[in-house]
Structure 1
Amino acid sequence: MKHKTKFLAALAVSSLTATVALSETELTVYTAVEAEDLARYAETFNASNPDIKINWVRDSTGIITAKLLAERDNPQADVVWGLAATSLLLLKSEGMLEPYAPAGVGDLDAKFVDDDNPPAWVGMDAWVAAVCYNTVEAEKAGLKPPTSWKDLTDPMYKDQVIMPNPNSSGTGFLDVSSWLQMFGEEGGWEYMDGLHENIARYTHSGSKPCKLAAAGEIPIGISFAFRGAKSKADGAPLEIIVPSEGVGWDMEATAIVAGTANLEAAQKLVDFTVTKEANEMYNTGYAVVAYPGVAKPVEHFPEGLLDAMIDNDFEFAANNRAAILKEWQSRYDGKSEAK
């Protein structure tokens, strides 16, 4: 009798464990968020949603965007959490997103929310272009700090500049699309022709040019401002320069992939992404977030940067993305680092 009781108890525990395992939902989430942030995001979400497991697929913006487009007819992702809004606008135009108004979306700054009702995507935070300038290495090379984008075409910067490849980096694409908006199509390509003469190489990461400048491997890295501020706070001899013509920017955003078999769990995740708690997490990596009043001052964040943000035409960037990237590739890809 004792053995039978133990057997039944073990069977009950086994059944309970199986039930719990079966009740857990797994979400495949595609993201371009910095890798060091992902565990923290999942841990915070799971504190209130322990029955949903996030399986991250992380890469740079261009690669994640291309992967989603390639899987258009057989989607593998349930949610996109942290991809450039310009990419999500493109996915929206292809009918690849499931419209959804997350609980609390009305608390967000309206410019971070898709105009449709219900919205196809919801913004999280914004990142802004800037130039990371290593004062020590620049002095060794006899350089003077640039004050504008066009300054970077000066021959004295020959082989002294690194920037991201727009085909793989969202930061690189916002740079290129903003130059085309600021200087016009003809003037934009002429500018990039001149800049290309001074480029040492193109990276496949938006943060890498600033990290390389911070490490003293190159005097000048075209990157984004928060990465520069973070590196400077860690002791790097950086000056974060806001070019006088203005700076491009983009926002990270979240959306549900159309056709997901885990719609309810996906909605819970997107509900979480717009909360004040989530926006407080975004603020540890970005100075501008979607939830008003959350963003705290960032040490070493350059003055005047927010005022320098151009009136970015996201529709232009999304609608012309393929043509812009094709043209850029044909002109400049020879200096890209190996993938």
Structure 2
Amino acid sequence: MGKTIFQCCARNSIARLIASAVVGTTLLFAAPGISHAGKITVYTSYEEDELAAFLDAMNKDLPDVEVDVLRLSTGDLRARMLAEADNPKHDVIWGWAATSMVDPRIMEMLEPYSPEGIDKVPARFRDKDGYWFATTGYMGAFCVNNEEMAKDNLAMPSSWQDLIKPEYKGKLVMPNPASSGTGYLHVASILQMMGEEKGWAYLDELDKNMDQYIKSGSKPCNAASAGENAIGISFALRAIKNIDEGYPITMVIPSEGAGHELEANALMKTSQNKEDAKKFLDWTVSKSAEAEYNKWKSIVTMQGRDMPEKFKKAGLPDDISTVLFEVDYAWAAENRDRIIAEWQKRYEK
């Protein structure tokens, strides 16, 4: 996706600031690498709609902190930060893939910081040395069209193993991991949970039942919702939204555990305004931030989350950790290029 600049401050509404994105771009790059008291620059990969909601809540809680936000997709943001490594232009990373955050070249740019309230975030969702922590994330799930399954008298799948049954031949659609973070989290989690030899053998079998691979993580669920495919391998939040909108689908979380990606936050050691950068990071684990995350995210890592009713109705448990496969983020990051190259060699037609 193309970049979008949001600027948040006490004097303006979010809607007005989104409308003045060009002005925001000028402000962001007018003085690269320089921050002043009360102003910080934040890089993020949150989606535009959720980002606007999060910034609106932050603006109410931190009216004296002005925030310039650059939003790019995960891969584009990674490329930008590496290109700027000798002269970083931001103070904070917010809502960015943990599997990218653990890149040693990125880690070298970070300064450990434990925000006020970090104890609410379990250790599995933060770096052991305090370089990053994740407050949100997204998880894999299957979107299964009830009508298509009934039409062909097919049983509802409950696991990855079910998806390689011969009766599902031509019924599946999945994101391409070379273009989709959701696609990669599925492949990486399968290879981790099964081991690489058995994992690739499984993916060979899964490929036999696949109708198509597509670029987007959400489109497989949309295709299943529309009846174009019986089963879309996608992510939970899209399933929840589509169920809430009345589509005839069931969300299935694979019994082996759902692969997932964390959206992590960190402090840049080159920040020129660490006082306000730390205020911002403190806010990201606040009750106010958590309340807003709850409206948008399938994974909110703070303990004691009050799971939204529509999420529970769609099938998420109150304790999301009980259905997540424990991903090794560093392994997923270190092996990404190799895994994608092997996947493309095997399955791209």
The superposition leaves residues 226-267 of structure 1 with CA deviations (integer Å, 9 ceiling, x where unpaired) of: 321222122111111232333222322111344344444332
Structure 2 vs 1, CA of residues 108 and 246 (structure 1 numbering), >3 Å: closer, same or farther?
Answer: closer
1-side partners of 2:280 and 2:217: how far apart? 26
Amino acid at match of 2:250: E
Q: In structure 2, which of residues 48, 51, 67 is the aligned counterpart of residue 53 of structure 1?
A: 67
- 2:279 is aligned to 268
When residues 303 and 103 of structure 1 are mapped into structure 2, their CA distance, relative to the original with a 3 A threshold, is closer
Tell me which structure has the larger Cα radius of gyration. 1
Distance 1:161 1:76 in 2: 43
Q: Which residue of 2 aligns with 1:225?
A: 236
Cα distance between partner residues in 2 of 1:77 and 1:200? 43
What is the alpha-carbon distance in structure 1 between the residues aligned to residue 212 and residue 244 of structure 2? 26
Instruction: Specify the SS of the correspondent of 1:300.
Output: helix
Q: Any gaps of 5 or more consecutive residues in structure 2?
A: 1-35
State the aligned residue count. Answer: 309
Match of 1:41 among 40, 51, 54: 54
CA offsets 1:50-82 (integer angstroms, 9 cap, x no match): 3413323132x3443344344434534442211
How many Å separate the matches in 2 of 1:290 and 1:113? 10
- Give the match's secondary structure for 1:131: strand
| Distance in 1 separating the partners of 2:334 and 2:257 | 22
For the residues of structure 1 that align with 2:40 and 2:289, how far apart are their CA atoms?
Answer: 20
Counterpart-to-counterpart distance in 2, 1:329 and 1:216: 27
Contact 1:62 1:166 (8 Å CA) reproduced: no
List per-residue Cα deviations over 1:192-231 (Å, max 9, x = no partner).
2222233333333333322332233332111222321222
TM-score relative to the length of structure 2:
0.77
1:303 to 1:260, Cα distance in 2 relative to 1, 3 A: closer
- Output the CA distance in 2 between the equivalents of 1:131 and 1:179: 14
* Aligned 1:134-173 pairs, distance under 5 A: 134-140=145-151, 143-173=154-184
Please name the residue that 1:318 is paired with: 333
**Partner letter of residue 30 of structure 1?**
T
Contact residue 233 and residue 299 of structure 1 kept, 8 A:
no
Whether the 8 Å contact between 2:37 and 2:276 is mirrored in structure 1 is no
Alignment of 1:294-305 (within 5 A): 294-297=305-308, 298-302=311-315
The match for 1:186 is: 197
SS at match of 2:346: helix
The code of the aligned residue for 1:68 comes to: M
Contact 2:110 2:266 in 1 (8 A): yes
**Counterpart of 2:93 in structure 1: which amino acid?**
V
Contact 1:289 1:295 in 2 (8 A): no
- For the residues of structure 2 that align with 1:133 and 1:259, how far apart are their CA atoms? 47
Tell me, yes or no, if the aligned pair for 1:225 and 1:301 is still in contact at 8 Å: no
Match of 1:106 in 2: 119
Q: Is the counterpart of residue 309 in structure 1 residue 324 in structure 2?
A: yes
For residue 130 of structure 1, report the CA deviation from its aligned partner: 1.4
Percent identity (aligned): 41
**Structure 1: segments with no counterpart, 5+ residues:** 1-21, 335-339
TM-score normalised by L of structure 1: 0.79
**8 Å Cα contact 1:62-1:168 kept in structure 2:** no
> Is the contact between residue 276 and residue 294 of structure 1 (CA under 8 Å) also seen in structure 2?
no
